């Protein structure tokens, strides 16, 4: 979730904004109408008002430079309140008229004394808790669905820069594909589940994975707002690494050139990673989906840099396989990961830290024509396990054949025996 303008931050911004308007309006009126009566008091009130304006603005902007200014302004404000408040008690004659900070802000219900203390506490707390990363960061942003070779090029660049420049490596990602919000009908099926992605990012050396809720508010941010609120805020970004096709902001209006321009204004270096090409074509998540939709597991594996996988809970099915002598573990309809084309596959099934060889069938069971949705059924080879209710991960290695309707039970069983024999040999070789 975005934290830059939530909770205590919003309260502080609102409080300082209200105080800035009240103090500024009052001081301007006093200076214009009766400055000669108490020049010191009215000047100090104007100074206090300007400090409140500065703090309000820097709390909203939240760039690295703005955070430094916020710290300085808060300390100045606290010293001013304590100093003027003490002087107004010790020598009231110096202040024939009240200032904002007189008597520690008594005229404003002591809010001028309380606010800088709260502000300094909040700033220090953010630094400790991670809202403001103590170390400056190199970041990249994207869904990183499947973590294919192109994604890993970005990740490796981030990790390398972080190591070389003593920066914190950060990946900003999303809880869903952005298309699910901006174009629901055209949203692609995801290649992998978030837990696997985050584990792989950590294994690659990423220090922090920040997952944002991609909602309508986030999708409506302008490119500048996206940079300030997502890429810069709370991360102390020094370097941003993106791909050549990086787009951001409302209606994807921001380009790499836009990011360079905004980054230059904020003291942030933009690094554009080279595309990863295979056979002259740029590696992308859409190409991986094409390969899996065609059942081309070797190509998908080549693009991903790892085997494609699907994870899900084993549920009860029609028990047709058990009747045929091939009891299967059926994944529920909420399985996560991209299910490849219908057919039979040689796979590893991972459960409870152990992997088992399996023949996996995907499709509608056309021989019996009694399945209403695509099913994923795994027959474990040479082992019998009760997997009902367990979460298993299926790792696809090779497609044996497509899904076909057989003229009867005997031809089907003969083919299933042949499938198992082929899977056994393929998996033995790997």
Q: How far apart are CA 85 and CA 88, in angstroms?
A: 5
Dihedral in degrees, nearest 10, Cα atoms 39, 43, 44, 48: 150
Q: What's the CA angle centered on 199, arms 193 and 202, to 5 degrees?
A: 140
Rounded Cα–Cα distance for residues 389 and 416 (Å): 25
**Integer Cα distance of 31 and 47 in angstroms:** 12
Work out the burial of residue 180: count CB atoms within 10 Å of its CB; fewer than 13 is exposed, 13-18 middle, 19 or more buried: middle
All residues at 6 or more sequence positions from 67 whose CB lies less than 8 Å from its CB, including other chains: 58, 123, 132, 236
Where b means 16+ CB within 10 Å and e means fewer, 257-269 reads ebbbebbeebebe
How far is it, in rounded angstroms, from Cα 178 to Cα 194?
A: 14
CA nearest 171: which of 162, 181, 180, 183? 162
Q: What is the CB neighbour count within 10 angstroms for residue 221?
A: 18
**253 to each of 125, 219, 225, 230, how far by Cα in Å?**
35, 11, 12, 16
Please work out, in degrees rounded to the nearest 5, the angle formed at the alpha carbon of residue 106 by the alpha carbons of 101 and 108: 80
Q: In the sheet that 269-272 helps form, which strands lie side by side, from edge to edge?
A: 208-212, 168-174, 137-141, 237-242, 269-272
Please say if 377 is a catalytic residue.
yes
Q: Among the options 185, 216, 323, 377, which is catalytic?
A: 377
Q: Which residues are catalytic?
A: 377
């Amino acid at each position: 979730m975005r934290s830059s303008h939530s909770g205590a931050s919003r309260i502080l911004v609102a409080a300082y904004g209200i105080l800035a308007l009240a103090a500024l309006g009052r001081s301007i009126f006093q200076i214009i109408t009766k400055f000669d009566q108490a020049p010191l008091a009215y000047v100090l009130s104007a100074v206090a008002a300007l400090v409140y304006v500065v703090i309000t603005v820097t709390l909203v902007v939240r760039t690295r430079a703005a955070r430094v200014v916020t710290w300085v302004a808060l300390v100045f404000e606290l010293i001013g309140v304590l100093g003027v408040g003490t002087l107004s008690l010790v020598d009231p004659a110096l202040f024939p008229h009240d200032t904002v900070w007189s008597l520690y802000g008594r005229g404003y219900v002591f809010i001028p004394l309380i606010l800088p203390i709260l502000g300094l506490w909040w700033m220090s707390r953010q630094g400790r808790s991670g809202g403001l990363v103590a170390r400056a960061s190199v970041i990249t942003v994207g869904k990183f669905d499947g973590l294919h070779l192109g994604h890993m090029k970005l990740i490796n660049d981030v990790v390398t820069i972080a190591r070389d420049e003593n920066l914190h490596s950060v990946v900003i990602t999303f809880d869903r594909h952005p298309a699910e919000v901006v174009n629901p009908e055209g949203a692609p099926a995801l290649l992998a589940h978030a837990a696997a992605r985050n584990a792989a990012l950590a294994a690659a050396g990423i220090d922090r994975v920040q997952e944002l809720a991609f909602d309508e508010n986030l999708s409506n941010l302008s490119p500048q707002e996206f940079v300030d609120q997502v890429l810069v805020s709370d991360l102390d970004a020094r370097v941003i690494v993106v791909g050549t096709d990086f787009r951001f902001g409302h209606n994807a209006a921001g380009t790499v050139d836009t990011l360079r321009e905004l980054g230059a204004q904020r003291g942030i270096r933009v690094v554009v990673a080279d595309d990863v090409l295979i056979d002259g074509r740029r590696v992308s998540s859409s190409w991986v989906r094409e390969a899996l939709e065609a059942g081309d597991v070797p190509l998908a594996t080549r693009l991903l840099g790892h085997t494609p996988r699907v994870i899900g809970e084993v549920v009860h099915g029609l028990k047709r396989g058990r009747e045929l002598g091939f009891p299967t573990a059926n994944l529920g309809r909420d399985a996560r990961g991209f299910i490849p084309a219908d057919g039979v596959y040689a796979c590893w099934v991972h459960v409870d830290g152990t992997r088992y060889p399996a023949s996996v069938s995907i499709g509608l069971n056309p021989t019996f024509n009694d399945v209403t949705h695509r099913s994923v059924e795994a027959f474990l080879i040479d082992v019998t396990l009760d997997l009902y209710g367990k979460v298993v991960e299926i790792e696809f290695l090779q497609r044996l054949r497509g899904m076909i309707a057989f003229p009867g039970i005997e031809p089907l069983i003969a083919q299933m025996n042949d499938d198992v024999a082929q899977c056994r040999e393929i998996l033995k070789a790997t």
